Chains A and B, each alone.
Chain A
Protein backbone atom coordinates (compact mmCIF):
# COMPACT_ATOMS: atom_id res chain seq x y z
CA UNK A 1 0.00 0.00 0.00
CA UNK A 2 1.11 3.47 -0.82
CA UNK A 3 0.63 5.45 2.37
CA UNK A 4 2.88 8.38 3.21
CA UNK A 5 2.84 9.59 6.84
CA UNK A 6 4.84 12.65 5.82
CA UNK A 7 1.75 13.93 4.01
CA UNK A 8 -0.38 13.42 7.12
CA UNK A 9 2.05 15.49 9.21
CA UNK A 10 2.37 18.14 6.54
CA UNK A 11 -1.34 18.81 6.24
CA UNK A 12 -2.35 18.17 9.83
CA UNK A 13 -1.98 21.85 10.87
CA UNK A 14 -4.26 22.99 8.03
CA UNK A 15 -6.78 20.31 8.90
CA UNK A 16 -6.55 21.33 12.57
CA UNK A 17 -7.57 24.84 11.55
CA UNK A 18 -10.64 23.39 9.88
CA UNK A 19 -11.29 21.37 13.01
CA UNK A 20 -11.32 24.60 15.06
CA UNK A 21 -14.13 25.87 12.82
CA UNK A 22 -16.00 22.59 13.29
CA UNK A 23 -15.66 22.95 17.06
CA UNK A 24 -16.87 26.57 16.94
CA UNK A 25 -19.89 25.61 14.83
CA UNK A 26 -20.76 22.66 17.03
CA UNK A 27 -20.30 24.61 20.27
CA UNK A 28 -22.57 27.43 19.09
CA UNK A 29 -25.16 24.97 17.81
CA UNK A 30 -25.09 23.12 21.15
CA UNK A 31 -25.60 26.29 23.18
CA UNK A 32 -28.34 27.68 20.92
CA UNK A 33 -29.93 24.29 20.43
CA UNK A 34 -30.05 23.57 24.15
CA UNK A 35 -31.55 26.93 25.11
CA UNK A 36 -34.07 26.81 22.27
CA UNK A 37 -34.68 23.11 22.93
CA UNK A 38 -35.48 23.77 26.60
CA UNK A 39 -38.16 26.30 25.68
CA UNK A 40 -39.61 24.01 23.04
CA UNK A 41 -39.62 21.12 25.53
CA UNK A 42 -41.49 23.23 28.12
CA UNK A 43 -43.87 24.40 25.41
CA UNK A 44 -44.53 20.85 24.26
CA UNK A 45 -45.79 19.88 27.75
CA UNK A 46 -47.75 23.11 28.20
CA UNK A 47 -51.41 22.90 29.16
CA UNK A 48 -52.14 25.48 26.48
CA UNK A 49 -53.27 23.68 23.33
CA UNK A 50 -51.85 26.25 20.90
CA UNK A 51 -48.40 26.47 22.52
CA UNK A 52 -48.20 22.69 22.75
CA UNK A 53 -49.22 22.22 19.12
CA UNK A 54 -46.72 24.78 17.83
CA UNK A 55 -43.89 23.08 19.73
CA UNK A 56 -44.86 19.63 18.52
CA UNK A 57 -45.20 20.93 14.95
CA UNK A 58 -41.66 22.29 15.18
CA UNK A 59 -40.10 19.01 16.27
CA UNK A 60 -42.21 17.09 13.75
CA UNK A 61 -41.06 19.35 10.90
CA UNK A 62 -37.39 19.54 11.79
CA UNK A 63 -36.89 15.91 12.74
CA UNK A 64 -38.83 14.78 9.70
CA UNK A 65 -36.67 16.51 7.07
CA UNK A 66 -32.95 16.11 6.26
CA UNK A 67 -30.46 18.51 7.81
CA UNK A 68 -28.86 18.92 4.39
CA UNK A 69 -32.16 20.16 2.98
CA UNK A 70 -32.60 22.57 5.90
CA UNK A 71 -29.13 23.99 5.28
CA UNK A 72 -29.91 24.43 1.58
CA UNK A 73 -33.16 26.24 2.35
CA UNK A 74 -31.34 28.61 4.70
CA UNK A 75 -28.28 29.21 2.56
CA UNK A 76 -29.68 29.08 -0.98
CA UNK A 77 -33.41 29.59 -0.50
CA UNK A 78 -33.56 32.53 1.87
CA UNK A 79 -31.30 34.94 -0.10
CA UNK A 80 -32.69 34.13 -3.52
CA UNK A 81 -36.40 34.28 -2.78
CA UNK A 82 -36.72 36.03 0.59
CA UNK A 83 -33.91 38.53 0.34
CA UNK A 84 -32.28 37.28 3.55
CA UNK A 85 -28.58 36.83 2.87
CA UNK A 86 -26.54 34.96 5.49
CA UNK A 87 -22.80 34.31 5.50
CA UNK A 88 -21.85 30.62 5.29
CA UNK A 89 -20.96 30.72 8.99
CA UNK A 90 -24.24 32.35 10.04
CA UNK A 91 -26.22 29.98 7.83
CA UNK A 92 -24.36 26.97 9.22
CA UNK A 93 -24.90 28.02 12.85
CA UNK A 94 -28.57 28.79 12.21
CA UNK A 95 -29.20 25.48 10.45
CA UNK A 96 -27.38 23.37 13.01
CA UNK A 97 -29.02 25.22 15.94
CA UNK A 98 -32.55 24.88 14.57
CA UNK A 99 -31.91 21.21 13.87
CA UNK A 100 -30.35 20.29 17.20
CA UNK A 101 -33.04 22.24 19.10
CA UNK A 102 -35.67 19.79 17.84
CA UNK A 103 -33.71 16.75 19.02
CA UNK A 104 -32.68 18.35 22.31
CA UNK A 105 -36.32 19.36 22.94
CA UNK A 106 -37.40 15.73 22.60
CA UNK A 107 -34.65 14.59 24.95
CA UNK A 108 -35.58 17.20 27.56
CA UNK A 109 -39.31 16.51 27.21
CA UNK A 110 -38.81 12.78 27.64
CA UNK A 111 -36.57 13.35 30.68
CA UNK A 112 -39.08 15.72 32.32
CA UNK A 113 -41.93 13.31 31.69
CA UNK A 114 -39.91 10.47 33.20
CA UNK A 115 -39.84 12.23 36.59
CA UNK A 116 -42.47 10.88 38.98
CA UNK A 117 -45.62 13.03 39.03
CA UNK A 118 -45.44 13.05 42.83
CA UNK A 119 -42.42 15.34 42.64
CA UNK A 120 -44.39 18.16 41.04
CA UNK A 121 -47.27 17.55 43.44
CA UNK A 122 -45.02 17.63 46.49
CA UNK A 123 -43.42 20.85 45.29
CA UNK A 124 -46.78 22.47 44.54
CA UNK A 125 -48.20 21.27 47.87
CA UNK A 126 -45.67 23.33 49.82
CA UNK A 127 -46.63 26.38 47.77
CA UNK A 128 -43.99 26.48 45.06
CA UNK A 129 -45.04 27.93 41.72
CA UNK A 130 -44.94 25.83 38.56
CA UNK A 131 -41.70 27.44 37.43
CA UNK A 132 -40.06 27.24 40.86
CA UNK A 133 -40.94 23.53 40.95
CA UNK A 134 -39.64 23.06 37.42
CA UNK A 135 -36.38 24.89 38.04
CA UNK A 136 -35.56 23.59 41.50
CA UNK A 137 -37.14 20.14 41.64
CA UNK A 138 -37.99 18.67 38.23
CA UNK A 139 -35.22 19.92 35.92
CA UNK A 140 -32.31 19.06 38.26
CA UNK A 141 -33.57 15.47 38.38
CA UNK A 142 -34.40 15.37 34.68
CA UNK A 143 -30.93 16.81 33.95
CA UNK A 144 -29.24 13.63 35.10
CA UNK A 145 -31.42 11.51 32.84
CA UNK A 146 -30.74 13.81 29.88
CA UNK A 147 -26.99 13.37 30.06
CA UNK A 148 -26.59 10.05 28.18
CA UNK A 149 -28.95 10.92 25.27
CA UNK A 150 -27.56 14.47 25.12
CA UNK A 151 -24.07 13.01 24.80
CA UNK A 152 -25.29 10.98 21.81
CA UNK A 153 -26.99 14.01 20.30
CA UNK A 154 -23.89 16.21 20.60
CA UNK A 155 -21.67 13.55 19.04
CA UNK A 156 -24.15 13.21 16.17
CA UNK A 157 -24.28 16.99 15.83
CA UNK A 158 -20.50 17.24 15.64
CA UNK A 159 -20.35 14.66 12.87
CA UNK A 160 -23.40 16.05 11.04
CA UNK A 161 -21.81 19.50 11.09
CA UNK A 162 -19.64 18.14 8.24
CA UNK A 163 -22.69 18.74 6.01
CA UNK A 164 -22.02 22.48 6.18
CA UNK A 165 -19.14 21.80 3.79
CA UNK A 166 -21.86 21.79 1.11
CA UNK A 167 -22.76 25.43 1.79
CA UNK A 168 -19.15 26.61 1.31
CA UNK A 169 -18.35 26.65 5.00
CA UNK A 170 -14.68 25.80 5.41
CA UNK A 171 -14.91 23.36 8.29
CA UNK A 172 -12.82 20.24 8.87
CA UNK A 173 -14.61 18.28 6.12
CA UNK A 174 -14.34 21.03 3.56
CA UNK A 175 -10.66 21.58 4.38
CA UNK A 176 -10.04 17.88 3.84
CA UNK A 177 -11.81 18.02 0.47
CA UNK A 178 -9.69 20.99 -0.57
CA UNK A 179 -6.45 19.33 0.53
CA UNK A 180 -7.42 16.19 -1.33
CA UNK A 181 -8.09 18.22 -4.48
CA UNK A 182 -4.59 19.71 -4.38
CA UNK A 183 -2.67 16.59 -3.31
CA UNK A 184 -4.64 13.65 -4.74
CA UNK A 185 -3.77 11.78 -1.54
CA UNK A 186 -7.26 10.84 -0.29
CA UNK A 187 -6.16 8.14 2.14
CA UNK A 188 -3.75 10.32 4.07
CA UNK A 189 -5.97 13.39 4.07
CA UNK A 190 -9.30 11.74 4.93
CA UNK A 191 -7.80 9.40 7.51
CA UNK A 192 -6.11 12.35 9.18
CA UNK A 193 -9.39 14.25 9.15
CA UNK A 194 -11.10 11.15 10.52
CA UNK A 195 -8.58 11.01 13.33
CA UNK A 196 -9.38 14.62 14.22
CA UNK A 197 -13.14 13.89 14.25
CA UNK A 198 -12.45 10.90 16.45
CA UNK A 199 -10.42 13.05 18.82
CA UNK A 200 -13.31 15.51 19.14
CA UNK A 201 -16.03 12.89 19.60
CA UNK A 202 -13.86 11.11 22.17
CA UNK A 203 -13.71 14.36 24.12
CA UNK A 204 -17.54 14.32 24.28
CA UNK A 205 -17.66 10.66 25.26
CA UNK A 206 -15.20 11.19 28.10
CA UNK A 207 -16.80 14.43 29.32
CA UNK A 208 -20.31 13.00 29.36
CA UNK A 209 -19.16 9.77 30.99
CA UNK A 210 -17.59 11.91 33.70
CA UNK A 211 -20.76 14.03 34.13
CA UNK A 212 -22.88 10.90 34.39
CA UNK A 213 -20.75 9.49 37.17
CA UNK A 214 -20.59 12.78 39.06
CA UNK A 215 -24.36 13.27 38.98
CA UNK A 216 -25.02 9.76 40.27
CA UNK A 217 -24.28 10.77 43.88
CA UNK A 218 -27.82 10.64 45.23
CA UNK A 219 -28.92 7.37 43.64
Chain B
Protein backbone atom coordinates (compact mmCIF):
# COMPACT_ATOMS: atom_id res chain seq x y z
CA UNK B 1 0.00 0.00 0.00
CA UNK B 2 2.70 2.46 1.07
CA UNK B 3 6.22 1.98 -0.15
CA UNK B 4 9.04 4.28 0.90
CA UNK B 5 12.43 3.63 -0.62
CA UNK B 6 15.70 5.42 0.07
CA UNK B 7 14.23 8.68 1.30
CA UNK B 8 16.71 11.51 1.79
CA UNK B 9 15.95 15.03 2.95
CA UNK B 10 18.10 17.79 4.31
CA UNK B 11 17.42 21.39 5.28
CA UNK B 12 20.38 23.31 3.97
CA UNK B 13 23.41 21.44 5.18
CA UNK B 14 21.49 19.65 7.93
CA UNK B 15 20.49 16.12 6.92
CA UNK B 16 17.14 15.11 8.45
CA UNK B 17 16.41 11.86 6.66
CA UNK B 18 19.31 9.64 5.68
CA UNK B 19 17.89 6.92 3.51
CA UNK B 20 14.66 5.64 5.02
CA UNK B 21 12.99 2.59 3.45
CA UNK B 22 9.97 0.58 4.56
CA UNK B 23 6.62 -0.71 3.42
CA UNK B 24 3.21 -0.63 4.99
CA UNK B 25 0.69 -3.27 3.97
CA UNK B 26 -3.00 -2.57 3.46
CA UNK B 27 -4.77 -2.38 6.81
CA UNK B 28 -1.54 -2.30 8.73
CA UNK B 29 -1.01 0.15 11.59
CA UNK B 30 2.54 1.39 12.03
CA UNK B 31 3.56 3.61 14.92
CA UNK B 32 6.69 5.70 14.60
CA UNK B 33 8.47 6.62 17.81
CA UNK B 34 11.69 8.42 18.53
CA UNK B 35 13.23 11.55 20.03
CA UNK B 36 12.27 14.97 18.67
CA UNK B 37 14.46 16.22 15.88
CA UNK B 38 15.02 12.65 14.75
CA UNK B 39 13.13 13.09 11.48
CA UNK B 40 9.75 11.49 12.30
CA UNK B 41 7.60 14.45 11.25
CA UNK B 42 9.73 15.15 8.21
CA UNK B 43 9.25 11.54 7.15
CA UNK B 44 5.45 11.88 7.27
CA UNK B 45 5.58 15.22 5.49
CA UNK B 46 7.74 13.74 2.76
CA UNK B 47 5.22 10.95 2.20
CA UNK B 48 2.57 13.41 0.97
CA UNK B 49 5.23 15.77 -0.37
CA UNK B 50 4.38 18.68 1.90
CA UNK B 51 8.15 18.58 2.02
CA UNK B 52 9.76 17.51 -1.20
CA UNK B 53 12.32 14.76 -0.54
CA UNK B 54 15.80 15.28 -2.02
CA UNK B 55 15.94 11.68 -3.16
CA UNK B 56 13.96 8.49 -2.83
CA UNK B 57 10.62 7.09 -3.83
CA UNK B 58 7.22 7.20 -2.17
CA UNK B 59 4.54 5.01 -3.71
CA UNK B 60 0.89 4.71 -2.77
CA UNK B 61 -0.73 1.62 -4.27
CA UNK B 62 2.14 1.35 -6.72
CA UNK B 63 1.84 4.95 -7.91
CA UNK B 64 4.65 7.39 -7.27
CA UNK B 65 3.70 10.50 -5.31
CA UNK B 66 6.46 12.48 -6.99
CA UNK B 67 5.18 13.88 -10.29
CA UNK B 68 6.81 12.35 -13.36
CA UNK B 69 6.64 15.49 -15.50
CA UNK B 70 8.32 18.87 -15.41
CA UNK B 71 5.23 20.80 -16.47
CA UNK B 72 4.26 22.75 -13.32
CA UNK B 73 0.54 22.48 -14.02
CA UNK B 74 0.67 18.70 -14.43
CA UNK B 75 2.94 18.39 -11.41
CA UNK B 76 0.46 20.28 -9.26
CA UNK B 77 -2.48 18.26 -10.55
CA UNK B 78 -0.68 14.98 -9.87
CA UNK B 79 0.33 16.06 -6.36
CA UNK B 80 -3.19 17.25 -5.56
CA UNK B 81 -4.67 13.94 -6.62
CA UNK B 82 -2.10 11.92 -4.68
CA UNK B 83 -2.56 14.08 -1.59
CA UNK B 84 -6.31 13.64 -1.71
CA UNK B 85 -5.62 9.90 -1.32
CA UNK B 86 -3.36 10.45 1.68
CA UNK B 87 -5.14 11.74 4.77
CA UNK B 88 -3.09 13.80 7.18
CA UNK B 89 -3.77 14.81 10.76
CA UNK B 90 -1.56 17.48 12.29
CA UNK B 91 -0.32 18.04 15.80
CA UNK B 92 -1.97 21.46 15.94
CA UNK B 93 -5.21 20.34 14.19
CA UNK B 94 -5.04 23.11 11.58
CA UNK B 95 -8.80 23.39 11.27
CA UNK B 96 -10.03 26.26 9.13
CA UNK B 97 -11.13 28.74 11.84
CA UNK B 98 -13.49 30.65 9.57
CA UNK B 99 -15.51 27.53 8.84
CA UNK B 100 -17.79 25.50 11.08
CA UNK B 101 -16.96 21.88 11.88
CA UNK B 102 -19.29 20.75 9.10
CA UNK B 103 -17.84 23.21 6.58
CA UNK B 104 -14.33 22.06 7.46
CA UNK B 105 -15.26 18.55 6.38
CA UNK B 106 -17.33 19.70 3.39
CA UNK B 107 -14.52 21.83 1.97
CA UNK B 108 -12.40 19.07 0.43
CA UNK B 109 -15.46 17.18 -0.80
CA UNK B 110 -16.80 20.11 -2.81
CA UNK B 111 -13.55 21.82 -3.81
CA UNK B 112 -11.38 18.80 -4.55
CA UNK B 113 -13.82 15.96 -5.21
CA UNK B 114 -16.43 18.21 -6.85
CA UNK B 115 -19.26 16.52 -4.95
CA UNK B 116 -22.48 18.59 -5.00
CA UNK B 117 -22.93 20.66 -1.85
CA UNK B 118 -25.99 18.90 -0.41
CA UNK B 119 -24.51 15.47 -0.89
CA UNK B 120 -21.20 16.65 0.60
CA UNK B 121 -23.02 17.92 3.68
CA UNK B 122 -24.64 14.50 4.20
CA UNK B 123 -21.27 12.76 3.85
CA UNK B 124 -19.66 15.25 6.24
CA UNK B 125 -22.40 14.65 8.82
CA UNK B 126 -21.77 10.91 8.66
CA UNK B 127 -18.05 11.33 9.32
CA UNK B 128 -18.61 13.83 12.13
CA UNK B 129 -21.08 11.40 13.67
CA UNK B 130 -18.51 8.67 13.35
CA UNK B 131 -16.02 10.68 15.44
CA UNK B 132 -18.75 11.42 17.98
CA UNK B 133 -19.47 15.04 17.10
CA UNK B 134 -22.96 14.86 15.63
CA UNK B 135 -24.10 17.59 18.04
CA UNK B 136 -21.25 19.98 17.21
CA UNK B 137 -21.46 20.22 13.44
CA UNK B 138 -22.39 23.91 13.38
CA UNK B 139 -19.77 25.08 15.88
CA UNK B 140 -16.74 27.08 14.86
CA UNK B 141 -13.39 25.50 15.86
CA UNK B 142 -12.81 28.22 18.48
CA UNK B 143 -15.85 26.90 20.34
CA UNK B 144 -14.53 23.32 20.47
CA UNK B 145 -12.08 21.70 22.87
CA UNK B 146 -8.72 20.51 21.56
CA UNK B 147 -9.89 16.92 21.52
CA UNK B 148 -13.04 17.85 19.62
CA UNK B 149 -11.02 19.91 17.14
CA UNK B 150 -8.68 17.02 16.49
CA UNK B 151 -11.65 14.71 15.90
CA UNK B 152 -13.05 17.19 13.36
CA UNK B 153 -9.62 17.19 11.70
CA UNK B 154 -9.71 13.39 11.56
CA UNK B 155 -13.21 13.51 10.05
CA UNK B 156 -12.01 16.07 7.51
CA UNK B 157 -9.20 13.76 6.40
CA UNK B 158 -11.36 10.61 6.47
CA UNK B 159 -14.14 12.13 4.39
CA UNK B 160 -11.77 12.23 1.43
CA UNK B 161 -11.70 8.40 1.65
CA UNK B 162 -7.92 8.22 1.69
CA UNK B 163 -6.02 5.01 1.10
CA UNK B 164 -3.78 5.73 4.05
CA UNK B 165 -3.91 8.04 7.06
CA UNK B 166 -0.87 9.86 8.41
CA UNK B 167 -0.97 11.11 11.99
CA UNK B 168 1.70 13.59 13.05
CA UNK B 169 1.74 13.53 16.87
CA UNK B 170 -2.04 13.91 16.95
CA UNK B 171 -2.30 14.06 20.74
CA UNK B 172 0.82 16.05 21.63
CA UNK B 173 -0.94 19.42 21.74
CA UNK B 174 -3.83 18.13 23.86
CA UNK B 175 -4.52 18.44 27.56
CA UNK B 176 -3.99 15.01 29.14
CA UNK B 177 -7.69 14.44 29.81
CA UNK B 178 -8.51 14.93 26.11
CA UNK B 179 -5.98 12.46 24.72
CA UNK B 180 -8.22 9.45 25.27
CA UNK B 181 -11.06 10.58 23.02
CA UNK B 182 -8.70 11.08 20.08
CA UNK B 183 -6.91 7.78 20.63
CA UNK B 184 -10.22 5.96 20.80
CA UNK B 185 -11.21 7.37 17.40
CA UNK B 186 -7.86 6.22 16.02
CA UNK B 187 -8.27 2.79 17.58
CA UNK B 188 -11.69 2.53 16.00
CA UNK B 189 -10.21 3.40 12.61
CA UNK B 190 -7.48 0.79 12.99
CA UNK B 191 -10.04 -1.86 13.91
CA UNK B 192 -11.98 -1.00 10.77
CA UNK B 193 -9.00 -1.78 8.59
CA UNK B 194 -7.60 1.68 7.85
CA UNK B 195 -3.96 1.72 6.83
CA UNK B 196 -2.27 4.03 9.30
CA UNK B 197 1.10 5.57 9.91
CA UNK B 198 1.25 7.44 13.19
CA UNK B 199 4.04 9.41 14.81
CA UNK B 200 3.21 9.25 18.49
CA UNK B 201 4.57 9.41 21.99
CA UNK B 202 1.66 7.31 23.27
CA UNK B 203 3.53 4.08 23.79
CA UNK B 204 0.46 2.47 25.37
CA UNK B 205 -1.48 3.11 22.17
CA UNK B 206 1.40 1.79 20.08
CA UNK B 207 1.56 -1.38 22.17
CA UNK B 208 -2.16 -2.10 21.92
CA UNK B 209 -3.04 -0.94 18.40
CA UNK B 210 0.06 -1.03 16.22
CA UNK B 211 1.04 -4.05 14.14
CA UNK B 212 4.53 -2.69 13.97
CA UNK B 213 6.58 -0.08 15.78
CA UNK B 214 9.39 1.79 14.12
CA UNK B 215 12.04 3.64 16.15
CA UNK B 216 13.55 6.52 14.20
CA UNK B 217 16.51 8.58 15.32
CA UNK B 218 19.08 10.67 13.51
CA UNK B 219 17.22 10.32 10.21
CA UNK B 220 17.29 6.53 10.13
CA UNK B 221 15.17 3.58 11.16
CA UNK B 222 17.14 2.24 14.10
CA UNK B 223 14.84 -0.62 14.92
CA UNK B 224 11.47 -1.97 13.91
CA UNK B 225 9.27 -4.90 14.73
CA UNK B 226 6.16 -6.01 16.59
CA UNK B 227 5.31 -3.57 19.40
CA UNK B 228 5.95 -6.10 22.15
CA UNK B 229 9.44 -6.72 20.91
CA UNK B 230 10.45 -3.11 20.25
CA UNK B 231 8.81 -1.65 23.33
CA UNK B 232 9.46 -4.38 25.89
CA UNK B 233 12.60 -5.92 24.62
CA UNK B 234 14.43 -3.42 22.44
CA UNK B 235 17.54 -4.71 20.70
CA UNK B 236 19.30 -1.44 20.11
CA UNK B 237 20.66 0.59 23.05
CA UNK B 238 19.30 3.87 21.60
CA UNK B 239 15.80 2.41 21.48
CA UNK B 240 16.16 1.13 25.03
CA UNK B 241 17.38 4.46 26.33
CA UNK B 242 14.55 6.35 24.56
CA UNK B 243 11.86 4.04 25.89
CA UNK B 244 13.21 4.18 29.42
CA UNK B 245 13.08 7.99 29.26
CA UNK B 246 9.51 8.12 27.95
CA UNK B 247 8.10 5.62 30.41
Q: Which A residues are closer than 8 A to B by beta carbons?
A: 116, 118-119, 121-130, 132, 136-137, 140-141, 144, 217-219
- List, in ascending order, chain A residues with CB within 8 A of B97's CB: 141, 218-219
Name A128's contact: one of B88, B90, B94, B112 (CB within 8 Å).
B112
Partner of A127, one of B84, B92, B99, B141: B84
Which of B84, B111, B141 is in CB contact (< 8 Å) with A136?
Answer: B111
B112-A126 in contact (CB<8A):
yes
14 A-B pairs with CB atoms under 8 Å apart are A118-B90, A118-B94, A122-B88, A123-B107, A125-B50, A125-B88, A126-B108, A127-B81, A127-B160, A129-B77, A129-B80, A132-B112, A137-B96, A218-B142
Q: Kindly supply a per-residue 1/0 record for chain B positions 90-130, scoring 1 wherever the CB is within 8 Å of any chain A CB and 0 otherwise.
A: 10101111110000000110011000000000000000000
- Are the CB atoms of A218 and B80 closer together than 8 Å? no
Residues of chain A within 8 A of B76, CB atoms compared: 129-130
Q: Which residues of B contact A144 (CB under 8 A)?
A: 98
What separation, in Å, do the CA atoms of A217 and B107 have in the docked complex?
19
> Nearest Cβ in chain B — how far from A124, in angstroms?
6
Q: Does B239 contact A (CB under 8 A)?
A: no
Report, nearest first, the 10 A-B pairs whose CB atoms are least far apart.
A127-B84, A122-B94, A126-B108, A118-B94, A125-B88, A127-B112, A218-B140, A127-B80, A127-B83, A218-B98
- Cα-based distance from A137 to B156 in the complex (angstroms): 14
- Asked if B94 and A116 make an inter-chain contact with CB atoms under 8 angstroms apart, the answer reads yes
Q: Are A127 and B98 in contact (CB under 8 A)?
A: no
- CB-CB under 8 A from A219, the residues of chain B are 97, 142
Q: Knowing that A126-B84, A129-B76, A141-B96 touch, tell me 16 more A-B residue pairs with CB under 8 angstroms.
A: A118-B94, A121-B50, A122-B88, A123-B107, A124-B80, A125-B50, A125-B90, A125-B157, A128-B80, A128-B112, A129-B80, A130-B76, A136-B111, A218-B140, A219-B97, A219-B142
**How long is the Cα–Cα vector from A126 to B104 in the complex, in angstroms?**
11
Interface assignment of B220: CB less than 8 Å from any CB of chain A: no
Q: Is the Cβ of B111 less than 8 Å from the Cβ of A132? A: yes
Instruction: Tell whether B195 is near chain A: CB-to-CB under 8 Å.
Output: no
CB distance B80 to A136 under 8 Å? no
Residues of chain B within 8 A (CB-CB) of A122 are 88, 90, 94-96, 153
B48 sits at the interface (CB 8 A) = yes
Interface residues on B, range: 20 to 34
Residues of B bordering A, CB below 8 Å: 48, 50, 76-77, 80-81, 83-88, 90, 92, 94-99, 107-108, 111-112, 140-142, 153, 156-157, 160
CB distance from A60 to the nearest CB of B (A): 28
- Residues in B whose Cβ lies below 8 Å from that of A130: 76
Name the residue of chain B whose CB is nearest to the CB of A135: B111
Closest to B49 in A: A124
**Which residues on the A side are within 8 Å of B86 (C-beta)?**
125
Min Cβ gap B172→A in Å is: 14
**Cα separation A119 to B90 with both chains bound (whole Å):** 11
Which of A124, A126, A218 sits near B107, CB closer than 8 Å? Answer: A126
Residues of the B chain whose Cβ atoms lie less than 8 Å from the Cβ of A127: 80-81, 83-85, 108, 112, 160
Give Cα A132–Cα B112 distance, bound, in whole angstroms: 9
Cα–Cα distance between A136 and B96 once the two chains are bound (Å): 10
Given contacts A118-B94, A218-B97, A218-B142, contact A128 B50 (CB under 8 A): no
Distance in angstroms from B171 CB to nearest chain A CB is: 16
Q: How far is the CA of A219 from the CA of B107 in the complex (A)?
A: 20
**How many angstroms from the CA of A123 to the CA of B104 in the assembled complex?**
10
Assess whether B142 is in contact with A126, with CB atoms less than 8 Å apart: no
The answer to whether B108 touches A118, judged by C-beta atoms less than 8 angstroms apart, is no
Q: Which residues on A sit within 8 Å (CB–CB) of B142?
A: 218-219
Whether A125 pairs with B48 at a CB distance below 8 angstroms is yes
A-side contacts of B108, CB under 8 Å: 126-128
CB distance from B149 to the nearest CB of A (A): 12
B104: nearest residue on chain A (CB-CB)? A122
Residues of B within 8 A of A132 (CB): 111-112
Q: Is the CB of A121 within 8 A of B112?
A: no
Chain A residues near B94: list those with CB within 8 A.
116, 118-119, 121-122
What chain B residues lie within 8 Å of A118 (beta carbons)? 90, 92, 94
Residues of A within 8 A of B157 (CB): 125-126
Q: A118-B90, A121-B94, A126-B112 are in contact. Are A136 and B83 (CB under 8 A)?
A: no
